[in-house]
Every structure is written in C-alpha cells, then in structure tokens.
Structure 1
Amino acid sequence: MTAIDTAFNYLGFASHATLARAGGDLLSAFTVSTKVGYFPASGGRARHSIDPVELRAALVRTIRDLGRAPDVVFLHNPEASMAAGDRGQEQLAAACGVLAEAALVGACGAWGIATWNLRAVAALATPLPAVPDVLMVRSGLLVGHEVLVAGEILARRWDVPVERRWGMSPFGGDLAGPPWRWSDPRIFLADAAGEPTAVQAAFRVAFELPMVGAVAVSTDRPDHLRELVDATGLAANAEFIGGYRRLLAERSARQIC
C-alpha cells in the first residue's frame, strides 16, 4: 500500500492530525490525497461550502495538521452548495482557482474535483479558468448510466488521462446488503483461476465502470484490504462489461421515455 486518501472532515475533522500522529516519519513514504469543502457546524454537524476564504483556511490547517503538503487536494462535492446557472459557474470557477493557486505555490502537489453527483458539474457550459489534474467519481457496478457518461464527458473535456481518473465507493457503502447478497460479480472476470471472491470481482470491475486508474476504498480490517489489493491483479471480461454498459444505457432510455 503506497497511497492514503482522506478528507478535511473525516473522523470529526481530526483525520489529518490523527494520520500524522499515527504515521509519524512513515507518512512521507505515502502519497496522501485529501479533500476540502466540508466545515464544522453547530451540534457536531458538518456544513458544505466552496467559499474561497474558507477553502484557503482549510488548506492552511491541512498542511499544519498533516505536517506536510498533501500530494493531491480535491474540491469535495462542489455540487452540494453550487447555485444554479451562471452563479454556480462563478462559484465553481472561484473555488477551482483557489486549488489551482495552491498547487502553483506548492501548498499541494496537484488538485482535483471529487464529486458524488457529477451531472451538476458536467452540465456547466462555460469552460473553467483552470482545469483539475485529477478527477474522482463514483465507480463500480452500482453506478448508473447517466453518472458514468457524465464522468467520461468531464474527463474528455478536461483532458484527464485514465491514470488520473479515480473511482470511489465501489460497493455502494455496504457489502452486507443487496445486491451483493444475491449477485455474483465474478461473471465479469475474464479468468476465475485462483477462486477469487465476489468482493474481489466487484472491486476489480470498479476500475472499468468507468475506466479509472485507481479506486479509493475504506476498511478497518487488514485482511479485507489485502483481499482488495490482490484483486487488482485479476483480469476483467471486456465483452461482458461492454454488454453491461449497453444494458444500463437501454434501461436509462426506457426510463426517460
């Protein structure tokens, strides 16, 4: 394992300090990515903002708590507080400007956008003054056709190569619930040699839906993490995955009609 992904608001806004304390000198051996966009609110809750002043303050605290500049900083779910129309375009442009400037002065190695509902971002018509180096989107078998297409549109628009497209939430948050209890994603593997698990198959396929170079996943079990790392060596069945994409597109077309 060589990369760690976190966020300003994780672990009750204490993830950076906790990571620095736990990792110590070893942290410099890892690529560290994080996200800014959520801030403390009353009652222990979090509120979302892409206000440039707050984003700059979050970056300063991030470097202080980590004890180093992060390798990548994502604008965290900008759609959560973007206004509609031109105002939303202005807000997103200003927020992206803050992160682009941070990368320019060395406050982070690169910057990107991590978006849960990227259709709102993809719908903006005016080009951004600065485009992200990295794009993080939902990936895996539970992602719908519209979200897959929107991510691919953004990647092409911003000329983000596959290795800098990252996936997240490959299991939809819960491996114990449906559809994982009654489905077998191993049908999407090109070769089932070695008896891979259904979890491994679902994780491997998340690199194909959409095509991404990395997938962020959380776990508190070393054995589960080892299982997922081993899954990256599996081969996917391109024909079956292409057929699945066509089924998703047909289902979406029927719903629109």
Structure 2
Amino acid sequence: MTVRLGLGTYRCPDVAGAAQMVAARGADWVDTAPNYAGGRAEMSLAGTLAAHPSMCVSTKVGFVPAGAGHIAVRAGALSSAEVEHGHCLTPDYIAWQLARTSLMLGREPDLVFVHNPEHACADGEITDRLFNAFLALEEACGQQVVGGYGVATWRGFGSGLFDVRTLLDLAVKAGGPNHHLCAIQLPVSLVHLAPVAQALNGHGPLADALAAGLEVFVSAPLHGGEIPDMVTPELSGLIAPGKTPVEAALAVVASAPGVKRVLLSTGNPEHWTRAVEAVGGPPLSPDVLRRVVDVLGT
C-alpha cells in the first residue's frame, strides 16, 4: 500500500502559504479543522482549493471556532452553555458547522472527522455521542454535503474509550451496511508507538482499520517538532542508515501496518520534499519496527 504525505494545518503558522507550496509540489490532500489557526484555517485554504480542484480536503466537526460561537447561538445551533464548553457534537451543531465549513472552504469537504469525541466526555456517554454524530454525518453524506466521515482522536483508542469495531458497529447502526464511515485519524510517532507495536501483533486500531478497509490518517508524526532532537545517531542508524532524524522518524510512521496518509505541518519547501521521499520510500521491515519498539518502548 502506497503511503502519501498530506498537509496538516494544526500547527501551521501560514496556512495559505503552506497550502500553495505543497499544491505546487503535487500534494493531493490537506487536513484542517474549523478551530485551527484561530478559526481562520478553512478560509485560508479556499484560494488554493479553488486553484487546485483535484486536491482533496478533510476537516472536522466538534470544537467551536474562535469568534463563531455567538453566530451559532443566533442560528439556534448552540446554546450559550455549549459555547462556554467549547465542544459540541449535537446534530444541529454538526449541520451548522458543515454549512459554515463549505462556505469557508468554498466547496464541500471530501471527508469530515468527528473531532476528539472523547473531549470532556462523561463516563458512559461516548457511545451515544458517537452514534448521534454518525447519524448527522450519514444524513449529510446522503445529501452529498460531504463525501464520507471518520473519527479523529488524540486518546480515544489508547484510553480504551472505543475501538474500530465499536465505530463500525455504530456506523452500521446509523447508516446501514452501506454506511459512509471510511477513515480514522490518530497520533503515531516515535513518542506514540503503541499503535505500531499493536499492529505488528495483529491488533489495535491500525490493524483493525486495515482489516475493515478504513483509511488511516496519522497526525503529529513528529510530535510537534520535538522528535528530531530525540533521535540519536544510533537510533537513526538502526532505523534508516544515512537518513536524517526526521526522515528516519517519518519512515517508522509510514511503515506501520495500515497507515495510508501521514499529515505534516510545514511551510518549508525543502522539508516537504524530503518528507515526501521519506514517507513514500520502501517501507521498513517488521523486524526493524520491532527493534525500534524494543528500544523505545510504547
């Protein structure tokens, strides 16, 4: 399976400039959210998406963008308490956020992730929260407002709040056998190696997604830029002799079973080009991945 690099916009200081740069270099995917870049990330992508209509875009629903809460309240999509909370996955808010997203992007998104459904979720509420979100997204897919949906989580899989099987069961319940759940997004890096170790043993979110035909989007592959300083020459040599720490770290992520897309936030052309080569190169062997896990732990 060919792994591709996509632009992530979470920590991107110049979203518009980065999008233009990667599009000019053949990038085919950009991932964003309404709350990124102080609520301006989606709007910042509109020009590039218009100029490059073949570029796909994924966004998210859940968090309330800065400065948009009062607008949602006036529209009847949020209560004042929900604005204060900062995160909402009710059907009314999802429908409102999707309409706003299409306006900001200048087009409908190809994929929409339920954004950190575990956020401030009380015990026992996650299943109902996900199911109601899936119902709203199935309706949006039926109306061709979005092409498909997924779940983007920071700790949902690792904490045991839900697994891929649970998501699939809820999607079937919400949309039937022809549901539109098609992807998951989670952090995988030299800091977050547990999904890799699990996949090498045939279980966990990466292996389960691969078996179910779901696309896996990896977020934070360099852990916010901290990983290059953590990779010693010895570790880099173990992973990929002759490669830089960044290239070695990305090679581990891209070689994990089930990974389809690695999201990287950068506006530097050289960094992007080298990352494309690292992600798209021959995968590391399972033996190398196991040695990395043995050295670093999970």
Aligned equivalent of 1:255: none
Within a 5 Å distance, the mapping from 1:1-257 to structure 2 comes to 1-20=27-46, 22-23=47-48, 25-40=50-65, 47-85=86-124, 87-119=125-157, 120-122=161-163, 127-128=169-170, 129-130=173-174, 132-145=181-194, 149=198, 150-152=204-206, 155=209, 159-161=212-214, 164-175=215-226, 178-180=229-231, 184-189=235-240, 192=241, 195-209=242-256, 211-235=258-282, 236-245=284-293
CA contact (8 A) 1:75 1:113 kept: yes
Residue identity matched to 1:110: G
- Matched AA of 2:56: T
Higher relative contact order (CA 8 A, sep 6+): 2
Q: Distance in 1 between matches of 2:66 and 2:91?
A: 18
- Structure 1's unaligned 5+ residue stretches are 253-257
Once residues 121 and 148 of structure 1 are traced to their aligned partners in structure 2, the CA distance between those partners, rounded to angstroms, is 18
Deviation for aligned residue 1:100:
2.1
Shift of 1:199: 0.7
Q: Is the 8 A contact 1:9 1:39 kept in 2?
A: yes
TM-score, structure 1 length as denominator? 0.80
Between 1:134-143 and 1:55-64, the stretch displaced more is: 134-143
CA-to-partner distance for each residue in 1:116-170, whole Å, 9 max, x for gaps?
112322299693124621111111221142786442365268x134xx1111111
> Which structure 2 residue ranges, 5 or more long, are not aligned?
1-26, 70-83, 199-203
Distance 1:11 1:203, change over 3 A: same
Q: Please provide the CA RMSD for this pair.
A: 3.0
Change (3 A) 1:26 1:97: same
More displaced stretch, 116-125 vs 63-72 = 116-125
Q: TM-score, normalization: structure 2? A: 0.70
